[in-house]
Amino acid sequence: MGIILIGERINGSFKDVGRAIQEHDKTVIKDRVAKQEAGGADYLDVNMGAASRKLEDYAWLVQAVAESTALPLSLDCPRADMFRVGLKAYRDTVGERSVILNSTTAEDSKLIPLLELAKEFNASIMGVVMDERGSPQDVDRRLELGGKIFAAAVEAGLAPADIFLDPIVMPVKFMQDQPKNVLNAIQQMTMLSDPPCHISIGLSNVSSKTEERKLINRTFMVMALAVGLDTAILDVCDEELRQSVATAELLLGMEIYSDAFLKAYRQRAGSGTAAAAA
Amino acid sequence: MVPDAKKTWGGRVNSVTIGATQATGGTRAFTVTIGGSATLPFLDFEGPCGMPAVAMEICDIYPQEWPNLLKEPFGDALGDPVRWARKCLEFGADLICLRLDGCHPEHGNRSPAEAAQTVKAVLQGIPAPLIIWGTGNADKDNEVFPAVAEAAAGENCLIGSITEDNYKTLVAVCTAYKHKIIAESPCDVNIAKQVNILAQDMGFPVENIVIYPTCAALGYGLEYIYSVMERARLAGLKGDRTLAQPILCDIGIEAWGVKEARVSEEEIPDWGSQRQRAPLWEASTAVAYLLAGCDLFILRHPEAVCSIKKTIAELTGALAGAAAA
């Protein structure tokens, strides 16, 4: 129930996290984990960024995150061998817990090995609608590639609930016609199957290099939720963004109304940690 | 191939235990646990279904308002809450509900100390867990609850009720003396959720709450309550923690207040025997709520208790199991 929020903050591209990865400093990681738990994250994305390319660093990072939270992870890697190392570290640390492999494109050379990994480790996948020709600009191509990934995943034995499709958000500053195309694609992707798969975006891309990042992020988030988005990788510590998501859940009838719905949303945010402690 | 139509839910109704044995700091001989369902009532092929419990109601004063035929089964025990409670247990009640009606400013205005004394006496006199209802008068309840909660300290009672406008005192004393709480809302799922959020905001775990969406007798708006209960339950099963509480229905007070239970055959001959009709009205009301997802019944007439327990046993297969054994 509710929107699935994937916290974006464990990413080596952030200076503090990058340094923590290089120095194997768990305190910084634990702090980022705790803040995103308090922010109501449902998953934590784990991405090394440019901080390191070493497999053992990724295994260290996954273990450091997994052992400090009860939340499931989204393993965000550029390569299949890194996914395997991350998955092994994850399973060794937490046993059976949900996990998303983030991500594959529609190219067979990436898609097929990742689906095999997903089956082997009982994982979900994030499929990004691009292929060897690059990122699509129009709606139809997004749907075509989304459909290909979905069909291949189902063929491989994944349930729709284990499939996340990402229609690729592009910066409004440089490609102003793209946000609208993404919204159209989301709306049509909801009709791919019944029960539906998840549809996810990397929200912060939309506001890249703009001066009003938070405003653009939360406005686009609400627009996307209205057409059927149910998952996003975003900054869960952005209070106004979270309040907009909570309000959208209410207006879309996903949550039963109560006068104190913002209070309830904040209580819910802490509950993952509370459940883990209990 | 026939598709598998089984539904799995992301959430589950909380299990709430009422009463504490010696092992858990109380003096009850046994405890009663309600809730725990992982699906809609009695669809046990989909997941575990909680076993509903039945409480019988007693009062801290003689129940002047009760019709004679409701008084009959209890005889002169009605003047003494302890003997009355024991009688209820003989009739098959799983636990006892003590209504502090005598503390109401208009029904005797007994003091908090007197209420505490009654609570102590009942707890000493019976082995079963106890539900305690206040007077319904917010100001008086806020005087009575602290004394009563303290008198029952350690016994893990279920005490009610808190409302949207009056919750702080009872939440505080139930936190201090470790009791469970009944959260009341007037036939409104939004307020049901709101009251739970308010209690939780004071640090009270929503897992220790039983919700009471108010109640109506058969023929008096039962279907509105039924819908509210269904909506709350569906939200809880979908994962809304603020609506994942077991549900209580206070049925006796409603069913015995309507004319179908109170009017004699002499007054309306077409309605037939009041002796049969009145307990049946209470039992029929209870069965409707049973199907909506009620986890805890508060009833008055022993025949209604017997009837609803039989229905529960039939629907859960307990009766078939017992017959086979």
- pLDDT at position B319 is 52
Answer yes or no: do B197 and A264 touch at CB < 8 A: yes
- pLDDT at position B324 is 46
- pLDDT at position A268 is 75
Answer yes or no: do A259 and B190 touch at CB < 8 A: yes
Q: Mean pLDDT throughout A21-29?
A: 96
CA separation (Å) from A194 to A97, A160, A191? 25, 8, 7
Residues in B touching A268 (Cβ below 8 Å) = 241
Confidence of residue A271 (pLDDT cuts 50, 70, 90): low
Is the pLDDT confidence value at A199 over 90?
yes
- The closest of B139, B177, B179 to B157, measured between CA atoms, is B179
Residues in B touching A257 (Cβ below 8 Å) = 190, 193
- pLDDT at position A272 is 45
Strand extents, DSSP E, chain B: 15-18, 32-35, 53-59, 95-99, 130-133, 158-162, 180-184, 209-212, 248-250, 296-299
Query: CB-based burial of residue B19 (10 Å sphere; 0-12 exposed, 13-18 middle, 19+ buried)?
Result: buried
- pLDDT at position A276 is 36
Answer yes or no: do B242 and A263 touch at CB < 8 A: no
Strand-pair category, B15-18 with A99-104: unpaired
> Is residue A118 within 8 Å of residue A162, measured between CB atoms?
yes
Residues in B touching A260 (Cβ below 8 Å) = 194, 197-198, 201
Answer yes or no: do B193 and A268 touch at CB < 8 A: no
Task: Tell me the C-alpha distance between B195 and A170, whole Å.
Answer: 43
Residues in A touching B232 (Cβ below 8 Å) = 256
Query: CB-based burial of residue B220 (10 Å sphere; 0-12 exposed, 13-18 middle, 19+ buried)?
Result: middle
Task: Tell me the C-alpha distance between B275 and B272, whole Å.
Answer: 9
Q: Tell me if residue B219 falls in helix, strand or coil.
A: coil
Mutate to test the interface with A, among B14, B240, B243, B245 (most CBs of A within 10 A): B240
* B189 contact A CB<8A: yes
* A254 contact B CB<8A: no
Nearest residue of chain B to residue A263 (CA atoms): B197
Nearest residue of chain B to residue A272 (CA atoms): B241
Task: Tell me the C-alpha distance between A128 and B184, whole Å.
Answer: 48
What is the reported pTM?
A: 0.88
Is the pLDDT confidence value at A108 over 80?
yes
Q: What is the pLDDT along chain B (325 residues), one digit of tens a residue?
A: 677 778 889 899 999 999 999 999 999 999 999 999 999 999 999 999 999 999 999 999 999 999 999 999 999 999 999 999 999 999 999 999 999 999 999 999 999 999 999 999 999 999 999 999 999 999 999 999 999 999 999 999 999 999 999 999 999 999 999 999 999 999 999 999 999 999 999 999 999 999 999 999 999 999 999 999 999 999 999 999 999 999 999 999 999 999 999 999 999 999 999 999 999 999 999 999 999 999 999 999 999 999 999 999 999 886 554 444 4
Answer yes or no: do B194 and A256 touch at CB < 8 A: no
Q: Which two tokens mark B217?
A: 């007798």
Task: Tell me the C-alpha distance between B43 and B320, whole Å.
Answer: 16
Residues in B touching A256 (Cβ below 8 Å) = 189-190, 193, 231-232, 235, 240, 243
Is the pLDDT confidence value at A277 over 50?
no
Identity of the residue in A256, A263, A271 whose CB atom sits nearest the CB atom of B190: A256
Helix axes B112-125, B81-90, angle to 10 degrees: 40
Strand-pair category, B15-18 with B32-35: antiparallel
Complex-level ipTM = 0.81
- pLDDT at position B5 is 79
Give residue-wise pLDDT tens across range A66-92: 999 999 999 999 999 999 999 999 999
